[in-house]
């Protein structure tokens, strides 16, 4: 397993629309494993392939990351070609993002979602979610369409965050 580099917004690669996964193979399974390791290392609860520079429609979500206990049978989700089939209600949540480190913003999303996806064995599944899990699924799937939580914020707040992220990217580039 490897820790992957997470792209920092406003990296233009984060704005690209991801392509459907057409083949589930060992390379994709390794990518999923590396993404999980990267997400846990960064103390996140989700990560989308575009955030590590891969334009594939795959996301991982583990809302119990870092928790001392996880509900029985609850495992991290690896979702390939996820697609929402139902959304309802509204829920405001203060979100952060591994591609926008240290920043938070209030975003309103659907309170309940239903989604179909494939797993790493090519089996189709349906997941229903509410609360944090619904927010995380919507947040990560936005990445597949080139959208980040900052796109939901006011232009003023987005511009302040953009300046901070550009400074962070410059500092990281100078230190690399």
Q: Where are the domains of the chain?
A: 12-175
With beta carbons less than 8 A apart as the criterion, state whether 18 and 56 touch: yes
Active-site residues, by number, are: 140
What are 14-24's pLDDT values in tens digits?
Answer: 999 999 999 99
What are 102-145's pLDDT values in tens digits?
Answer: 999 999 999 999 999 999 999 999 999 999 999 999 999 999 99
CB atoms within 10 A of CB 54: 17
Topology (CATH) of 12-175: Peptide Deformylase (3.90.45)
Torsion of CA 150, 3, 57, 131, to 10 degrees: -50
With beta carbons less than 8 A apart as the criterion, state whether 78 and 96 touch: no
């Amino acid at each position: 397993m490897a820790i992957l580099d997470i792209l920092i917004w406003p990296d233009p690669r984060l704005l690209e629309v991801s392509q459907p996964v057409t083949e589930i193979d060992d390379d994709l399974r390794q990518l999923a494993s590396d993404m999980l390791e990267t997400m846990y290392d960064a103390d996140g609860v989700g990560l989308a392939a575009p955030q590590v520079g891969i334009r594939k429609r795959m996301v991982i979500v583990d809302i119990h990351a870092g928790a001392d206990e996880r509900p029985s049978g609850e495992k991290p989700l690896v979702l390939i070609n996820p697609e929402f089939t139902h959304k309802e209600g509204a829920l405001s949540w203060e979100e952060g993002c591994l591609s926008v480190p240290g920043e938070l913003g209030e975003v309103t999303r659907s309170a309940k979602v239903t989604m179909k996806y494939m797993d790493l064995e090519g089996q189709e599944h349906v997941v229903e979610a509410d609360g944090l899990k619904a927010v995380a699924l919507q947040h990560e799937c936005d990445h597949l369409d080139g959208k980040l939580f900052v796109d939901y914020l006011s232009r003023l707040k987005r511009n302040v965050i953009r300046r901070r992220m550009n400074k962070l990217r410059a500092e990281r580039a100078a230190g690399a």
